[in-house]
Amino acid sequence: MEITATVLLFAGAVLGFMAFTHLSMNMSVPKMIWLSHVVLVALGLLALIINAFTTDSMEKHYNLMVIFVIALIPALTMFAKKDINTRKALAIVYGLTGFFGLFWLITYVLP
């Protein structure tokens, strides 16, 4: 389940990076891209939560969940803000926090 969460979150991160690239060039983000990002990240987080309940390991990744919840704050705020400059700033904070969480997770998964 840990690996499933990593794969889903990695795919979500790739699409998030694509969305950010659009945003950075002042282009509107294609709906398909941001929607897929949201779905993949949501599934990744769900996999992490299931992992916490089912794993026998001492490491339940609660710290990661806190990091991702912090990342969600600017992400959700983006929906409420229409100004492109504010959205860029929120996307930077969201992206850096989210990537930090993903990297932290990968340190457990990679051999």
Q: Which residues bind other proteins (CB under 8 A)?
A: 13-14, 17-18, 21, 24-26, 58, 85, 88, 92, 99-100, 103-104, 106-107, 110
Q: Would you say 50 or 57 has its CB closer to other proteins?
A: 57
Minimum distance of other proteins from residue 59's CB (angstroms) = 10
Q: Would you say 17 or 42 has its CB closer to other proteins?
A: 17
Contacts of 29 (CB under 8 A, 6+ apart): 19, 22, 23
